[in-house]
Amino acid sequence: MWSEFIRLLDEYIYIFGEKSFDWETFMMLLHTGFEQTHYNLAPSTLDELTITGMDSVRYTPKKITFAVGLTQGVMPHNIDETGLLTDDERELFSNHLDSGRFLAPTTGQLQSVEPFVFYQLLMSATEHLYLSCAISIDGKEQLVSNFIQRLLKHYELEEIDGSFNRQNRLEQGDFVVPYELFTTLLLKMRENKFKEKEEIDFLWKLIPHLLKTDAAFSANYHALLASVFRLNVASKLPLSLAQELYGNQLNLSTSQIETYYKDPFSHFLQYGLRLKERQEFELSPANTGEYFHEFFDQFIKELNARGISLRDLTLEQKLAIEKDIFNRMKDNPKFCDFSLF
């Protein structure tokens, strides 16, 4: 880059010589020269993508900024009291501190910074700024940030529904990744499953033909096609397998018969295969409390059996008794989970 810059300066002097310096001509020559320059290794900042949080300390404006997730609770950020001290206690202690000493800011002070964070976000792009938020997350409706609502209202900006644009793009066969192609094709194939060929749009007849003849997508296409036209028809169990699962004599309760007529497959899983839900390994507060209660109970009983009072108990005796109780309790199936720790 430096050698190219020096070369352009030399060319400028060679062409214009002793003529008076003209700023516009110089900048035009400089821009033209750099545009025609070919790099063996592109500079790292020539085409750069930076991912950072909105409240990042680093602030360097970029050409284009995409801000995502701007919903209520994110911008402005909901700040809760999570420290040891409450806001009232912080203000009370701060009034008695010497100059130069201070506590962490209160939630109110942190909340007051949020408009400045949003201002920094607005100033983070020099050419284009895109602000977006999700309509729903895990089925829960999301509200647009009130900062964005005020911005739309004040400047009368147009709000664009990204999901609608995406749906239009997919309908026109404009796919970005293979996932979009196959999910859209699956929906279209199910939709066109019982239609005549003349009723199907040409695009959705062309795409399956191209996928079928393409070596990279042929296998996925045939798997997709099989899932669309496959009929899940239940078949009878072989007599030998049914006798092995249920026996020759059935002793059924009313609930078992009701389960069968409601969902035969559930009846097969529950009473045929006798499947049970896998018990997960976990330590609940109730189990932990029961363990410690049992441990303390045995500890006191052991002291009484040895004729030792808590006042006269030495550290060596305490550790020895605890070790004995622990070894006994880990052999108890009721507390086997605690023996892993």
Q: Is the peptide bond before 105 cis (omega within 30 degrees of 0)?
A: no
pLDDT of residue 41: 63
Percent of the chain with pLDDT over 70: 91
List Cβ neighbours of 317 (8 Å cut-off, separation of 6 or more): 308
Residues 287, 293, 296: CA angle, nearest 5 degrees: 140
- Cα–Cα distance between 9 and 12 in angstroms, integer? 5
pLDDT of residue 58: 61
pLDDT, tens digit, 9 for 90 and up, residues 90-143: 888 888 887 778 787 888 888 888 888 888 888 888 899 888 888 777 778 888
Higher pLDDT, 324 or 280: 324
What is the average pLDDT score of the chain?
Answer: 80
Secondary structure (3-state) at 270:
helix
Report the range of poorest mean pLDDT among 2-6, 41-45, 65-69.
Answer: 41-45
Q: Do β-strands 62-67 and 125-131 pair in parallel, antiparallel, or remain unpaired? A: parallel
pLDDT of residue 307: 87
Region 18-42 average pLDDT: 74
pLDDT of residue 243: 86
- Cα–Cα distance between 242 and 2 in angstroms, integer? 84
- Are the beta carbons of 259 and 267 closer than 8 angstroms? yes
Residue 341 confidence class, pLDDT cut points 50, 70, 90: very low
pLDDT surpassing 50 at residue 273: yes
Closest C-alpha among 114, 179, 125 to residue 150 = 114
